[in-house]
Structures are given as C-alpha cells and as structure tokens.
Amino acid sequence: MISESYTLGIAADQVEEIAATRNKIEHAMRHASPAAIDSLRTIKAQLEETLEFIMNSDVTCSVNLTELVNGFKISLRSCTGNINDASEVIGRTRL
C-alpha cells in the first residue's frame, strides 16, 4: 500500500493526466497493428485500475470548507451591501 500523502490538487492533476493518457492510447489503438493493440489494451486497463484506485481513495482536507464558504459569504455581503437598504423605487435610467 502506498503511504505517501497527496493533496487534492495533486490527485486532481493525476486524474487529468491519466484521463489524457487514456485518450491518447484510445487514439493510438485506431492506428496500431493487432499486436500493438493488445499491448495498448493492457496498458489502458492498468491506467483505468489506477484511476479507479485514486477515485475510490479517501481524500482528506485540513481546511474547514464550511468556514471558508461562510467567509466568502460575509465578504460578498460586505461588498454588495444589504439588499433591503436599497431604495424601493428605481429612478428613470434613460432620457
């Protein structure tokens, strides 16, 4: 079992890289000889197993996402102001 620690960003990068490589293999299989296709199928299956392992792994985050989202909400409110403070009548916008 792998004991290395990965961040969510690293895991996402690896998933993207595996998906791109799988697409390249699928493209190469259209133009390869039958013997090469068998090898490419084996490699593609190994990549898909690796991708499945990553997707089924528990990814943890040390950041409290709820607090982060609440912080964004507070920041957004401070930038936009309270909607109830706006005047109820909108003045004419065109001449």
1 is a domain residue: no
91 is a domain residue: no
Cβ–Cβ under 8 Å, residues 15 and 51: yes
3 is a domain residue: no
Q: What is the identity of the amino acid at 93?
A: T
Residues 6+ apart with CB under 8 A from 5: none
93 is a domain residue: no
Average model confidence (pLDDT) across the chain: 78
| pLDDT per residue as tens digits for the range 39-82 | 999 999 999 998 888 888 776 667 777 888 888 888 777 766 55
DSSP assignment of 48-61 equals HHHHHHHHHS----
Cβ–Cβ under 8 Å, residues 47 and 23: no
| pTM of the shown model | 0.53
Number of domains in the chain: 1
Q: Which domain holds residue 27?
A: 8-85
